[in-house]
């Protein structure tokens, strides 16, 4: 890929990773990008680096604009290794006068065994640095999604370089939001939020409020992953407000794993009951659906109904996986229910309920357990459960 000027004298110089398919448990089936930005001014500044394996792509892009040795400053918005993995090699090449980072950024870099002798300069919210004609203001964004995270804002350009906020894992040859399908872009942004930032939703709400109080004028948002929002920055800001308030729709998801199709038959019957109540319903068989796709659909679902056969007195492994993953991301204000089949013990339903209770879901029903295969009465009970949950959704989501 080649560098792209995104604002006068501000360039995208990052790397595109077409091949990555897993990002610590998140399915990146369409790859990702590691965005870095070069600012040309009296003090030439590089904002972030890239994953170690993509260092040559970054250096090549910078070299197409200037000699990398002419870079004066390095800004490290986020220390996670997809953004700082190439940093030591880049520092050896450019020998910057200063490396700007948050106080936690310096601490984390030292914890990653970056040299203590680097010219670190820590900055906090409200501080700024003059590059000449341009100024960079810093905003700490702790736990979005690491303790060290911060934004860099260029007021003259109304440009927010937003680190890991407002991004998407999506490898494209295009760099801007108006160059791709808007619906697909927002779907990738929703998946990113659901799987990375959902548990930090209260902090996202606070950040959006702080940005409003600070009166930042933003007409472009440049994240560290995915497309740059040059035409619709307000759309992603509004989406983050909605997602962080965990606004739900009249929608349910049914997530299940099955051994010999008994639990699957129950899932279909529950879905029939939900549909009878005019509830938008999606079914996810964990044999075929990745945990991160399930979480994306949960983002606006009011009810989560989980089913598992019992294996060795426990949940099936894929159900244990999704419940553990879901619990870590902390969806709030959901309705939950459990169902499943069993041979001779039947612990799975109770174990699912335990997870749902830990997530503080409203438990719609003690759950339905079926010995071996469901008969007509069992399937009728499942359908009735779907109807019951459907009515609860209608009452809670107007």
The residues that are catalytic are 24, 78, 80, 82, 145, 164, 192, 225
Strands 37-39 and 10-12: antiparallel
Place of tokens 């600012």: 39
Nearest 5°: the CA angle 44, 48, 52 is: 120
| Contacts with 230 (C-beta within 8 Å, 6 or more apart), sequence order | 6, 176, 177, 178, 219, 220
Cis? peptide before 145, omega within 30° of 0:
yes
What DSSP line would sit under 362-390, residue for residue? EE-SS-EEEESS--HHHHHHHHHHHHHHH
Q: Are 253 and 295 in contact (CB under 8 A)?
A: no
Q: Is 168 helix (H, G, I), strand (E, B) or coil?
A: coil
Distance (Å, whole) CA 47 – CA 152: 8
116 φψ region: left (φ > 0), alpha (ψ -120 to 50), beta (else): alpha
Distance (Å, whole) CA 159 – CA 179: 19
Give the single-character DSSP code of 27: E
Going by C-alpha positions, the residue among 175, 196, 162 that lies closest to residue 15 is 175
Q: Are 160 and 218 in contact (CB under 8 A)?
A: yes
Which tokens in the block code for residue 282? 């999606």
């Amino acid at each position: 890929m080649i560098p792209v000027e995104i604002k006068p004298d501000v360039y995208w110089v990052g790397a595109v990773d077409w091949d990555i398919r897993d990002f610590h448990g998140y399915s990146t089936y369409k790859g990702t990008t590691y965005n870095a930005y070069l600012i040309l001014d009296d003090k030439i500044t590089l904002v972030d680096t890239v994953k170690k394996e993509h260092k040559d792509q970054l250096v090549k892009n910078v070299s197409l604009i200037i000699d990398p040795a002419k870079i004066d400053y390095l800004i490290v918005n986020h220390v996670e290794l997809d953004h700082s993995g190439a940093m030591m090699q880049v520092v050896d090449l450019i020998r910057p006068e200063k490396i700007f980072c948050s106080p936690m950024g310096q601490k984390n870099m030292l914890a990653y065994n970056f040299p203590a002798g680097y010219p670190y300069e820590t900055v906090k919210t409200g501080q700024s640095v003059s590059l000449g004609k341009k100024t960079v203001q810093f905003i700490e964004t702790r736990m979005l999604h690491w303790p060290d995270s911060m934004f860099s804002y260029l007021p003259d350009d109304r440009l927010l370089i937003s680190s890991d906020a407002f991004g998407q894992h999506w490898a494209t040859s295009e760099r801007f939001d108006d160059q791709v399908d808007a619906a697909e872009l927002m779907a990738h942004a929703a998946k990113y939020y659901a799987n990375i930032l959902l548990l930090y939703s209260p902090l996202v709400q606070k950040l959006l409020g702080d940005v409003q109080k600070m009166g930042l004028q933003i007409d472009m948002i440049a994240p560290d992953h995915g497309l740059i929002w040059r035409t619709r920055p307000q759309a992603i800001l509004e989406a983050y407000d909605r997602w962080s308030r965990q606004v739900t729709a009249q929608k349910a998801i049914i997530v299940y794993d099955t051994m010999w199709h008994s639990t699957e038959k129950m899932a279909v019957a529950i879905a029939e009951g939900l549909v009878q109540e005019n509830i938008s319903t999606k079914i996810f068989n964990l044999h075929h659906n990745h945990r991160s796709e399930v979480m994306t659909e949960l983002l606006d679902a009011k009810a989560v109904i989980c089913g598992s056969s019992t294996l060795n007195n426990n949940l099936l492994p894929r159900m244990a996986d999704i419940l553990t993953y879901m619990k870590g991301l902390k969806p709030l204000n959901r309705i939950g229910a459990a169902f499943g089949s069993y041979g001779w013990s039947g612990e799975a339903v109770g174990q699912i309920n335990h997870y749902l209770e830990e997530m503080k879901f409203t438990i719609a029903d003690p759950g339905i357990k079926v010995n071996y295969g469901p008969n007509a009465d069992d399937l009728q009970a499942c359908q009735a459960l779907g109807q019951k949950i459907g009515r609860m959704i209608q009452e809670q989501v107007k």
